[in-house]
Homo-oligomer: A and B are copies of this chain.
């Protein structure tokens, strides 16, 4: 990767591209849905939240990745604030070139700026490559992740 990845908060103009990035994935395609009012409501709720940030990564003026950061205050782990990272995606054409690593480094820097002592995320058991990637960043694969439709 000869150019430098830059980061900024997503705007309404990015939302279509963000939905495209999130859906461009074998595991997530069917559950992301086509761009619509539900994504717009989600974006509005993220914008309204003081503890959520939707971040896009740019390379040569193009949006090539996205991720959502949530800062979660807490009592456990000696009152630690947690950085929750969700919906991490890199343009499929650019995988393996360091974009994801640069994104996670940015996520951790933002977490530290917000006083987070801990980063946490879950990754579908169907994504062994992602697990290897997170372990390579120093993450401990210490927990089981559970989901329930409400």
Chain A residues proximal to chain B, CB less than 8 Å: 15, 18-19, 22, 28, 31-33, 36, 38-43, 45-46, 48-52, 54, 68, 70, 72-84, 86-87, 108, 111-112, 116-125, 131, 134-135, 137-150
Contact = CB atoms under 8 A, between A and B. Distances in A.
Contacts of A36: 78
A89 B108 CA distance: 28
13 contacts: A22-B76, A38-B80, A39-B79, A70-B70, A74-B87, A111-B150, A118-B149, A121-B146, A122-B143, A123-B144, A135-B146, A139-B148, A143-B146
A148 B105 CA distance: 12
B74 A86 contact: yes
A-B pairs with lowest CB-CB distance, top 8: A143-B145, A45-B73, A42-B79, A38-B79, A33-B78, A122-B143, A139-B146, A145-B145
